[in-house]
Chain A
Amino acid sequence: MTEARVIPLHTEPTRTDQMRPEPTRARPRREPSRSVVRQEPAPRRTDTAARPNDRQPLPLPDSIVDPGRDEDLSPVRVVRRPSVAPEQPEALPDAAGGSELEDRLSDLIGFLRRRVSGDYHVDEFGFDREFADHIVMPVLRPLYERWFRVETIGMSNVPATGGALLVANHSGTLPIDAMMTTVALRDHHPSGRHLRMLGADLLFRTPMLGTISRKAGHTLACTPDAERLLNSNELVGVWPEGYKGVGKPFKDRYKLQRFGRGGFVSAAMRCGVPIIPCSIVGAEEIYPLIGDLKPLARLFGLPYFPITPTFPLLGPLGAVPLPSKWYIEFGEPIRTDRYTPSDADDPMLVFNITDQVRETIQQTLYRLLSQRRNAFTG
């Protein structure tokens, strides 16, 4: 496929050079030595397993002033990489292996004790960092590393600090793409950023899911919440296609739907934060949606009731996603700090930027797809 023409409306020449998207992980898909990539997740796994030990102790209950946003987990950043030592546990003497186990165990017990005594902090949105790192991430990580074998591209386009709005395409019947993006940013971004996502109100109305989402740092997609998060220097994720994107039929795969009403652009403009287009390839194939039982959806109050090749047919087994190979590409940031907050009230400008973001993601999707040979092997 030929590279489609992208009309750069607001790119900056100086920034372009610095921010050129480069694969953070080698993508040797054209090379025959594929095993190199396969082995790569292994050190990371030990790395993440060892990471909790590096965690700073939580602030004492008396020292609380504010649910600390800025007391970022900077020590984690520093000690994230040097994880070479526990890479060959077999080769190590017995005592060292035992102490590592002991460390992990004492870390786990410390975590459990803080849980039992309620000695942890949540921010005003209900975000519980410890819960996210100790419970949510370990659940999602195997899916990310083993099942979907996600590769990220252009991670350097995501700023290390400060507010930013990540805008991505939505697909896959269930919003697994959003969860994988949080893992990508937490585990593979140099600063280990937490992605604070904006979710639909259905999510927060649902008993268990709503609570877990709040604890994992997500909030309702509405302008006040988005702007509050952006103003407090958080990385906010938004999937503007919403249900139209996540529940679209398989035949429409990788065709971006309408991008909401552009509310995310005006929020970013008011806060002067960059918009990072994010393109996710692979999520469309996890649950190919071939039908929609509208009466059942109405009955349960859902936006759609999916029929996939496996879902009602194999019962609960149908909930297992197909193991497609994923790529997540973070595009070059679109700066909004040159606009005044009043520009956010100019609908034409907002529409233009919305289209620019949408086009960027669509073109990136086409490019990634043209490079992909097979949906399952990459």
Chain B
Amino acid sequence: MAPSVVLVTGVSRFIGAHLAARLAADPSIDRVLGVDTIPPPRELLRGMGRAEFIRADIRNPLIAKVITSAEVDTVVHTSLSSSPAASGGRVAMKEMNVIGTMQLLAACQRSPRVRRLVLKSTTAVYGSSPRDPAIFTETMAPKALPAGGYAKDAVEIEGYVRGFGRRRPDVSVTVLRFANFIGPRIDTALTRYFALPVVPTVLGYDARMQLLHSEDALAVLEQASRQDLPGVFNVGAPGVLLLSQAIRRAGRVQVSMPSMVVGPASRLFRGARLVDMTPDQMRFLNFGRVVDTDRLRDTFGFTPRWTTMQAFDDFVHGHKLRPMISTAQVDVVEKGVLAAARALT
């Protein structure tokens, strides 16, 4: 069943705005409503076309009026925020994430027209730890649930969404657990981290990272909002990059710090507004996380166009990151060494 009125939350940010734009470009959809507490930046708003922006706070019961009066049948909830700085502190972020979702779900439950709910969740719900299996499937739970931050919010939100699914069995509920986004256009903590000229890492750790190109993420969200694909799906690109390998591919210089100095250093970075790394993101950079995406391919029917490595390379090219040591220099050194060896023998 094709949707006729779609409500997208979180349109002031990259994923929400571009999803609204993609849906608005489809003439078979009657209306696309974008909701957020702050208006989208000008360049995002320009791309959104005929999608209507409604400045509303999903923490407020007013959202129920919007859903009922516009006869929304598909709700795509993409407003989960992972960055405390961007949402005005951790308390406000939690409020926005958890209470906002509860209000939205309450509104959806009241409205008999709602037929489909899509939640943008995260693979952070699996945590990052050395004690868990190397690859998570959708049915696995981590040994220890995430203790705080974004990941904990996501776990709680998924719980509320499951509850909603039980109370409204007629609504098709899709939960998409996304790997970390990367791409030439998107701006996340991870892209800012890799754009640093000198990239700090923790000594003795090298994370296995699975990424997802932001265009693939949009395509998955679009597919989920068009079709009934109920269930929980891990969404990540095939392939794995090690953190050290990614830093080298980006041509950055890696500086490993003992774990003792990481705390003060990350505070320094936060203070200097360079990178805002939360503790769970720090854990991700230590241990990494890889998920199994067989269900995405077989049941959901989506194969990412970019592998993790290709997505990362696209990000590197898109941001025009110049390597600190160019390949030409390496070639010169290589030729020199070989010539010296020949001269010696």
Contacts and interface: CB of A to CB of B under 8 A. Distances in A.
Interface of A: 61-62, 64-67, 94, 97-98, 101-102, 105-106, 109, 113, 115-126, 128, 201, 204-205, 207-208, 210-211, 214-215, 219-220, 222, 224-225, 228
A342 to B, nearest CB: 19
A113 B330 contact: yes
Interface of B: 130-135, 137, 140, 202-206, 208, 210, 238-242, 244-249, 259, 288, 290, 307, 309-310, 313, 323, 325, 327, 330, 334, 337-338, 341-342, 345
Nearest to A67: B239
A98 B338 CA distance: 11
Given A126-B240, A214-B208, A117 B327 contact: yes
B342 A64 contact: no
A8 to B, nearest CB: 35
Dominant SS among interface residues on chain A:
helix
Contacts of B310: 62, 64
A66 B247 contact: no
Contacts of B205: 207, 210-211
Nearest to A117: B248
B134 A113 contact: no
Contacts of B338: 102, 105-106, 109
A210 B309 contact: no
A264 to B, nearest CB: 15
Contact of B133 (A97, A118, A220): A220
A117 B249 CA distance: 5
A67 B134 CA distance: 15
Given A67-B239, A109-B334, A123-B240, A207 B259 contact: yes
A65 B238 CA distance: 8
B135 A228 contact: yes
A122 B240 contact: yes
Given A61-B309, A113-B330, A124-B290, A204 B240 contact: no
B69 to A, nearest CB: 48
B345 A101 contact: yes
17 contacts: A66-B239, A67-B239, A102-B342, A102-B345, A105-B337, A106-B338, A109-B337, A109-B338, A118-B246, A124-B135, A126-B134, A126-B242, A215-B206, A219-B134, A220-B132, A220-B134, A225-B135
Given A120-B245, A124-B290, A98 B330 contact: no
Contacts of A228: 134-135
A180 B140 CA distance: 34
Contacts of B133: 220, 222, 224-225
B307 A65 contact: yes
A225 B133 CA distance: 6
B250 to A, nearest CB: 8
A116 B323 CA distance: 11
Nearest to B323: A117
Nearest to A110: B334
Contacts of A62: 310
B240 A201 contact: no
Contact of B325 (A64, A101, A116, A121): A116
Nearest to A219: B134
B238 A66 contact: yes
A52 B248 CA distance: 23
A365 B345 CA distance: 50
A118 B247 contact: yes
Contacts of A207: 202-205, 259
A116 B239 contact: no
Nearest to B325: A116
Nearest to B246: A118
A201 B130 contact: yes
B134 A124 contact: yes
B130 A220 contact: yes
A137 to B, nearest CB: 19
Contact of B242 (A128, A220, A225): A128
B309 A224 contact: no
B341 A102 contact: yes
| Residue of A121, A125, A211 contacting most chain B CB atoms (<10 Å) | A211
B135 A220 contact: no
A116 B134 contact: no
A113 B332 CA distance: 12
A215 B334 CA distance: 26
B96 to A, nearest CB: 34
Given A97-B345, A109-B338, A122-B208, A67 B240 contact: yes
| Residue of A62, A214, A219 contacting most chain B CB atoms (<10 Å) | A214
B122 to A, nearest CB: 19
A208 B133 CA distance: 19
Given A109-B338, A116-B325, A205-B131, A122 B345 contact: no
